[in-house]
């Protein structure tokens, strides 16, 4: 059985999780956009095709972006009794899938 203090801490963590979600999304999107920007010119816009010599570079960039889907956002928190880093994990899978489809024409299997 959880004590009242544990329940209160859980509620505070949940509300902080929601507070930082927009900042985490922006940071994740910024990192993904930077990765994509480096390879975007290698993909033919009209036919969404890649030259054979550039396949590895583009596929590595796609994997880097897909690895951002479960994003850890670290925040320094000053508490009443202690200070420290809090890590919040967010699932941005759908947003990153849409970004890859819009920019590189990449669609994950089963979507």
Domain ranges of the chain: 4-104
| pLDDT per position as a tens digit, 10-25 | 566 678 888 899 999 9
- For residues 80 and 100, what is the distance between their CA atoms, to the nearest angstrom? 42
| pLDDT per position as a tens digit, 65-110 | 999 999 999 998 787 777 888 899 999 999 999 999 999 989 877 6
Question: Does the model's pTM come out above 0.85?
Answer: no
CA dist 15 → 9, 20, 29, 74, 88 (Å):
10, 9, 22, 15, 11
CA dist 43 → 33, 57, 108, 109 (Å):
15, 11, 17, 19
């Amino acid at each position: 059985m959880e004590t009242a203090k544990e329940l209160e801490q859980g509620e505070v963590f949940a509300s902080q999780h929601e507070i930082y979600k927009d900042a985490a999304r922006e940071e994740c999107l910024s990192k993904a956009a930077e990765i994509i920007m480096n390879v975007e010119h290698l993909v033919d816009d009209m036919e969404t095709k890649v030259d054979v010599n550039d396949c590895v570079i583009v596929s590595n960039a796609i994997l880097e972006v897909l690895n951002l889907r479960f994003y850890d956002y670290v925040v320094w928190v000053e508490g009443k009794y202690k200070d420290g880093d809090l890590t919040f994990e967010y699932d941005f899978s759908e947003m990153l899938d849409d970004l890859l489809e819009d920019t590189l024409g990449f669609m994950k299997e089963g979507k």
